[in-house]
Amino acid sequence: MGVTLPSVLAIDAGNSKTDVALLAPDGSVLCSGQAGGFQPPRTGVVAAVDVLAAAMADAGLRADPAAGPWAERVSACLANADFAVEERELAREIERRGWGRTTAVHNDTFALLRSGLPTGADPCGVAVVCGAGINCVGMTPDGRTARFPAVGRISGDWGGGGGLAEEALWCAARAEDGRGGPTELARALPAHFGHASMASLIEAMHLGRVPHARRHELTPVLFAVAAAGDPVALSLVHRQADEVVAMASVALGRLDLLEREVPVVLGGSVLAAGHPQLNDRIAAGLAERAPRARISVITAPPVLGAGLLGLDALGSPPEAYEKLRAHFG
């Protein structure tokens, strides 16, 4: 008789952090762990998967092949898995480590979409994630998908927390030196880091006195300035909203879903924060371009979606889904 394993090793790895959860057959979470950001384009595949191993170690799971397999299925939803070749490379490296009897790798935006679909619902809808970056996926019950490369400006992307911070800095720098119009951003952004001027902040950033990794702290400052009525800051927030609407509408159109009542799931730190200037404009834009779309904002950890996808693959009973959802609130 074979050894009964936990059902799913669920992994969600984003640019800034990685979460793992080991799920029992009934959907309960046996253990969980966390590690740093997952960035294979910068570190290479092996070093990136080492981050997943670190999250497993944080959960009390030995990540070497001699210790596994830990689960029937590894369900890994990974940032930077934007092309099929990347998904295959990452899946091979995870399989090599023997963590599960079977392995599936998806782009992490599919975890968001799955989280927004109720138990028993057809896999049909569109998700837009706007966190450090921005991405969008869609799928239909017959297996069709809509995706974007989502690798930055070379693939036509704009926004996300990192992009918004860069745009805010650009506008503030030009406002202070006279190349652009006035904006409260020129005072608020340097003040956040204890500087009196943009010139001082620019020098500090250039010389590494303000680490690049801290630039994301400026995105909430941008939203606060926009909420106070600053026209330049508000224009950036509105542009981000319009970009979300464009991505969702294009994905819906590719899948022939513009006229159907389907979920549009929003998530990621920028969208989950609930800024009215952003989310209300998204709702208005989608009401015009996809009037039957049902918008929801997901705040549960994305590892939930990875777990649900794993339960899907194993044909788990409905109560397992409900237990897993209850664990993550």
pLDDT (tens digit per residue) in 184-228: 999 999 999 999 999 999 999 999 999 998 999 999 999 999 999
Residues of the chain with pLDDT under 70: 1-3
Q: What is the C-alpha separation between 75 and 95, in angstroms, rounded?
A: 11
What per-residue confidence (pLDDT) applies to 119?
A: 79
**Side by side, which strands form the sheet with 134-139?**
145-147, 134-139, 125-130, 263-267, 294-297
What per-residue confidence (pLDDT) applies to 161?
A: 94
What per-residue confidence (pLDDT) applies to 16?
A: 85
Q: What is the C-alpha separation between 27 and 312, in angstroms, rounded?
A: 11
Cis check for the bond before 69: say yes or no (omega within 30 of 0).
yes
What per-residue confidence (pLDDT) applies to 1?
A: 34
Q: What is the C-alpha separation between 116 and 328, in angstroms, rounded?
A: 13
Q: Pull the structure tokens for residue 235.
A: 């224009």
Global confidence as pTM: 0.91
Q: What is the C-alpha separation between 206 and 228, in angstroms, rounded?
A: 29
Instruction: Give the other-Cβ count within 10 Å of 276's Cβ.
Output: 11
Say how many Å lie between the first and final Cα of the chain, rounded. Answer: 36
